[in-house]
Amino acid sequence: MKKEDIKKLAENKNLISGIYNYCDRWCERCAFTSRCMNFAMTREQDTDPEASDITNEKFWQSLSEIFKATREMLEESAEELGIDLDSIDFEETSRDEGIKDKIVKNHECCRAAKKYYEMVDKFFESEYIPSLQVVDKVQVQNAAEPKKSDGPDGPATLDEMVEIIYWYHHFIYVKLMRSVRGTLGNSPEVLEEFPKDSDGSAKVALIAIDRSMAAWGHMHTFFPSHRDEILTIIVHLDRLRNRVEKIFPQARNFIRPGFDETNPSR
Ligand code: SF4
């Protein structure tokens, strides 16, 4: 994709600015694909199967074109704003970033989120696969089938629950890392009058936690012999949710572009 194409896309008034910053990246389930620049750029790549195949040279060519276009746009903006990109002290910056990385990774929420995805991996490695092999089909058929009427976010089938849990299990960690990082200064947070990126990221993490808890809740039905393990995971997620809400008290109130607006405009 060329710089001109990206600029043309960015001028599209139908797109919602920054919507992709606070979504869950689950494009197949997103109602805003037609209004998302990230989706438009990805689709451009997807129309050419070779360009979306990581083992094909065309994929890397396409990626390198996007990087090149981004770099050119960055240079143009820096020039307009009078910023000298070469004046950045990379040594000092990377030292600062290294310190921040450590703080973020050691934050209680990030540690708990990491523990959660490890618990999920362990459950699916040690419980789910053998359980699926022995799971009694009659039992599954007779189980109280979670219905779509649970709500748009509610899981409907075992596969769907597993899909939800898998989709979000790393995502929660990544989003919380970003939230915590946003509180460490030298970030967009310095603009106090604007909504905080850390709250937005924490909100997305909270939504992912809510949905994961709902999915785990339904897992009981299918794996009655694993209730204790499932309960332990739900309790862990509940504690994490409480901590996130306490540390980011404004997160639930954050208005995400598109998703939380009645008439989303550009
Ligand atoms: S806003 Fe929707 S379409 Fe865009 S990246 Fe996020 S999930 Fe995908």
48-60 confidence digits (pLDDT tens): 667 666 677 777 7
Compute the distance between CA of residue 190 and CA of residue 230 in angstroms, rounded to an integer. 41
| Cβ(254) – ligand 1 distance below 6 Å | no
| Cβ(223) – ligand 1 distance below 6 Å | no
Position 234 pLDDT exceeds 60: yes
Q: What is the pLDDT of residue 166?
A: 92
3-state secondary structure at position 37: helix
Q: What is the pLDDT of residue 150?
A: 41
238 vs 9, more confident: 238
Compute the distance between CA of residue 235 and CA of residue 115 in angstroms, rounded to an integer. 13
Q: How far is CA 85 from CA 75, 80, 189, 252, in A?
A: 8, 12, 22, 36
Q: Which atom in ligand 1 lies closest to the alpha carbon of residue 26?
A: 7
Ligand 1 centroid to 213 CA: how many Å? 22
Confidence of residue 129 (pLDDT cuts 50, 70, 90): low
Quote the Cα angle for 53-58-63, to 5°: 85
Q: What is the pLDDT of residue 121?
A: 92
172-227 confidence digits (pLDDT tens): 999 999 999 999 875 555 556 678 999 999 999 999 999 999 999 988 888 888 88
Position 43 pLDDT exceeds 80: no
pTM to 2 decimal places? 0.77
Q: What tokens were used for 165?
A: 């849990």
Ligand 1 centroid to 219 CA: how many Å? 27
**Mean pLDDT of the region 91-115:** 90
